[in-house]
Structures are given as structure tokens and as C-alpha cells.
Structure 1
Amino acid sequence: MSSPASDASTGAELLDVIVRLNRWVTHHSDWTVPVAQVRVLAQIDDWGEARTSDLARAERCSQPTMTTRLQQLEALGWVARARDRQDARATPLTLTDAGRAVLADARSARTRVIDTLMAPMDAPRRQRLQAATRALRELLDAAYNQLPPTRRSP
């Protein structure tokens, strides 16, 4: 059985590795779209549609900052405003086909970097990494399922 101290150090190490991996992949990817824009596109893609206030909360930025980001994405033709049938004042945002294409390109670029990193790995090591990835996904899925729907922002 593990101790709380070893669990804490495992958690800290896990976060450090994930942050470093994300930084490495971002730095070595061949896409030019700002990371903040890709994160917003990914969030809208995950949710299907999103309100400015929800996106600001998910990205931990002010609503005016998110409004500016969304105006940029809208000007690029990557997001579109829709009508909310239940609240006429609300204007949820959705991805356009162009926005989905940009997001797919960014994800592909990041995947190519990961694939290059993993290329020299032997089969047993890849299998361990796949098992660890599944465990992390299960951990996150369980955490998100415990939250009320309004707080389930990945």
C-alpha cells in the first residue's frame, strides 16, 4: 500500500512530466496557430458549443480577454455565433468547418511530434505507455463524472 507522501510525490512527478511533454510537443510542432487559440478551438470542439463566460472560466481568464480571443477566431472564420433557443441574449459559439480543419491540423502536428518521440521505443515499452495512458484517461473520466455538468470543462 502506498503512503500519502509517495502518492503526493507521484502526483507531482506526473504533473511535471505532463507539463514538460506538452511544452516539448508545442515547441517542436510545425503549426503556427497560437496555443491559446488552439485551446479555445479544442474546448469548443469538446463541448460542441460554448458561451464566452464558460470558455473564460475554463481558460481561467477574464471575460473581456476571452471576448477578444473569440473575436479574433470569428474574424478568421474559425468560429461562428449561433442562437440559443432558450436564452435570446446568449450567443453560443460553434466551430466552423475551417475551425475544425485548423484544430485537426494542430492535433496532427502534435501527434507527429509524439510519434517521432515514440519511434525508437520497443514493443514492451510502448505497451506500458499505452497502459499508463488508459489509466490516466480512466482517472480523468472518473474525476469529470463526479463534477456537476456546469463544472465539467476539460
Structure 2
Amino acid sequence: MPSARLVPRVAGDPGDGGDRGTLGLELLDTIARLSRWATSRADFDVAPAQARLLAHVQQVGPARTGDLARADHCTQPTMTGQLHRLEQQGWVRRLSDPTDGRASLVEITDEGRRALGEVRAARERVIAPLLAQLSSEERQQLSQGLAVVQRLMTFEPDQA
């Protein structure tokens, strides 16, 4: 297993495709890299793509397959296959769409919530030793930065 140390990359470092330099790109890149790093070192039985889809279904609540496909930037047949695999595991179920009897919605099951909780706990166990190395001041700074990121997630696109 590779070292548990995350090596920060700074805009303009060789190999990063040039000076990206914008705060938004750095934020997205850092969060994505941290997530991939934690996932690659965590021990869980759910495929990462399935865990990501489960998390999305949990976040949005009951949703149509087409809406999930658009959100994931994939085709509806691709999403149907992904959802079928989740259904086989008992992690999601289909229910009638109350607004259209011909359509169905997909929602996470209790078993899906349990599986997703295990994934999240495994990822948290991987990052906990890194957080433990931070000083009290650094943890406070990280907490404040996290609050800002969480607030950004509440903005509507036209507010940006």
C-alpha cells in the first residue's frame, strides 16, 4: 500500500498542466484528490462508483433514472445498468412515480444506507490519523474553511 502521506500540490508545480491559479480550480482539484486518496486506502466492500451513486440517491431522495443519468453525465441505459446492480444488492428500490404512473422513482433502502455508512466510516478511519497530526489551530482553520465550503454548496448557480 502506498504511503499514507498526502503530498500537497501547488499551482504551477511541474506536471500539473500549467498554472491553474484560480481558487475554484484549486478547491475542486484538492477536494477530488483527497476523496480519491481516502477511497483508495479505505477498506470496504462497495465499489467506489456504486458508493458514489448511493450517496447521490440518498442526497436527492427518490429520483427518476433519467434525472440521475443527467446528474452523473451518463446515458440513461448506463444509469439503468448501475441502478440494476444496486437493486440486486438490495441497496435501492423502485417505486411508482406519484406524478406519472408510467414512470418509476429510485430510492435508497435501509440496507443501502447501512452500506453507505460503512463506506463513509472506512474513509473517515483513513483520514483520521492525518487530522490527528494537525495542531489545534490548524483544526480550527480547517473547520472554518469547511464551513465556507459547505456554505458555497447552498448557493444557487445564478448567485455565483
TM bucket normalised to smaller: 0.7 to 0.9
State the Cα RMSD in Å. 2.0
Distance 1:144 1:116, change over 3 A: farther
Comparing 132-141 with 109-118, greater Cα deviation is found at 109-118
Which residue pairs with 2:152 in the alignment?
139
- Aligned equivalents of 1:9 and 1:144: distance in 2? 18
The number of equivalent residue pairs is 142
> Any idea what SS the aligned residue of 1:142 has?
coil
Between the aligned partners of 1:94 and 1:144, the Cα distance in structure 2 is 26
Q: State the one-letter code of the partner of 2:69.
A: A
Structure 1 residue ranges (4+ consecutive) displaced by more than 3 angstroms after TM superposition: 143-147
Deviations 1:95-150 (A, max 9, x none): 11111100111111111122122011110000000000000111121136859xxx
Question: Aligned to 1:17, which of 30, 37, 62?
Answer: 30
List alignment gaps of at least 5 residues for structure 1.
1-6, 148-154
Greater per-residue helix proportion: 1
The structure with the largest strand share of the pair is: 2
Identity %: 44
Which position in structure 1 is the counterpart of 2:3? Answer: none
The structural deviation recorded for 1:85 is 1.6
The one-letter amino acid paired with 2:148 is: A
1:116 counterpart residue number:
129
Give the unaligned 5+ runs of structure 2: 1-19
* CA distance in structure 2 between the partners assigned to 1:17 and 1:85 by the alignment: 40
